[in-house]
Structure 1
Amino acid sequence: MKLNADVGEGFGPWSVGDDAALMPYLDMANIACGFHASDPDGMDRTVCLALDHGVMVGAHPGYRDLEGFGRRSIPHEAESITRLVAYQVGALQAICDLHGAQVEYVKPHGALYHDMMRCEATFEAVLTAVAAMPGHPALMILAGAQNEKRKQMAECHQVPLLMEAFADRAYSDGGSLLPRGQPGAVYASTQQMVDQVMQIKTSGTVTSVNGREFPLSADTVCVHGDNAESIAAVARIRKALQTG
C-alpha cells in the first residue's frame, strides 16, 4: 500500500505544512494546482522536490477557493467541473513538462473530492476531464464498499481508479470521512494513525468513530501535509507500511 500526501499547498510567501520533511517518506505527491492553493512558482518547487525524491507526481485540483482552502462546496454545471479540472491539471502538466515529468494521477481536493463521491454527475464530469488527458492518468477516489457504480463509470471512460484510505481522519458509520468540523475528525495521536493504517493494511477493514468495523480495501493511504501531527507521525507510518 503506497503512502500519499497533499503537498504544495502554500501560496506566495505563505507556506502550509513542511513538504521537505514529508517528501522523503512518500510514494505519491498530490500537488496543489493553483485554485485552492499554490501558484506557478510553488508548483514548480513541489514538482522538483517530488522528482528529487523519486515520488510520483499527482495533480490535486479543487474549487477556485483560496480563501476557504477549497473546503467549501461551490455549485457548478457539470461541464464547468470538467473544464475546472482540465485547466488545473493542464497547468501542472505544463510545469512537469519543464522537467521531463508526467502527471500520473489526479486526486481532487477538499469539497470537490467529497462532491464527486456524493454526486454521480460530478464524478462523471471529473472522469470526463481525466479521460481526455495525455498519459492516461488514474483517478484517486475514496475507498469503500459503495464504489461499484463508480468502477463501472470509470471503465466506460477507460480511466484507472486508485482507492484511497486515510491515516489521520476518522470515518463515519456510513464509510465516509467524518466532517472536519466534528470532534475527533482529524487525529492528533501518532499511535492512532499507525493503528488505523495497520488495520487497513492487514485486515482490510477500518473502525468508525462509533466503533463499527467495515471492509476497506485501499491502494494508497493519505496523510495530510497541513496536519502537523501527521507530519510528525509519517516516519512511523512509513515504517509500519514497510514492515507490518
Structure 2
Amino acid sequence: MPGLLLGDVFPNFHAETTDGSIQFHDFLGDSWCVLFSHPGDFTPVCTTELGRAARLCAEFTKRGVKMVALSVDSLEDHHDWSKDILAYCSMESERSSLPYPVIADQKRELALALGMMDPDEKDKDGLPLTARCVRTSGLYPVTLQPCSQLPSAVFIIGPDKRLKLSLLYPASTGRNFDEILRVVDSLQLTATKRVATPADWQPGDSVMVPPSMSEAEASVLFPAGVFTKEVPSKRKYLRYTPQP
C-alpha cells in the first residue's frame, strides 16, 4: 500500500480491539479521530502516554474526537496492561477498562500498512518497532515525503475520513497529549474558518489572516477587525484578527 499523504482518505481497515471488532470508517462515523501506535505492551514510556490519554479522553470527546490506540501485542496482553495503565494514572477505582479501544496487531500488518514501522528501532526478536511524526496540513502548499519513507504513529483523521495530521516521536520520548489536543483545536478551527494559527497559539488567542485574502475581503469576513504587525520589509503579511 502506498504511503499516506495529508488529505488522503484513511484506509477502512478491520481490526480486533479491547472493545470488540471495528471497521474503521464505521467506528469513525461523523467524528474526528486520534489514532496512536505503541511499540509494545508493558513499556514504560507508553504506559505514561496511554495513562495521559485516558485522563484527557473527556476533553477529546467534548471536541467530537474519538481515540484509538494500536500496539503490536495480543488482546489478552492489552487487557492486562490496561490494569497497569489505570493504576498508573490513579483511575483504577473509577473504571475497569480504558476509555478508548486498543487495537491488537500481533503480526504488525496494520502498522506496516499505515507506515508506522521504524527501521532503526528493533525489538528483542529483531522486528521493527512502531514509531511515533510531525507533518501537518495548512493553508499553504508543502512537499511531503510518503509515509513509507517517513514512519508515523499519531494520526488525526477528520470526519471526511481524510488524514489531517501525523506526528512522529522516537520511542524514548513521550508524546505531549496537551499539544495533540491544541492541534485538534487548531485543525477544527481552520477547517471551518479561513484563518491560520501562529506559533504557540492557544484557543482564544488571535489568529492569522492568510496572505491570499484581500484587505476588502478580510474586512467583511472579520468584522472584529484586522491588525498588521509592522516589519522592516514594510510587507503587510503578518495580519491578525481575534479568533472567530
Q: TM-score, normalised by structure 2?
A: 0.27
Which protein has the bigger helix share?
Answer: 1
Which protein has the bigger strand share?
Answer: 2
Q: Flag the structure with larger Rg.
A: 2
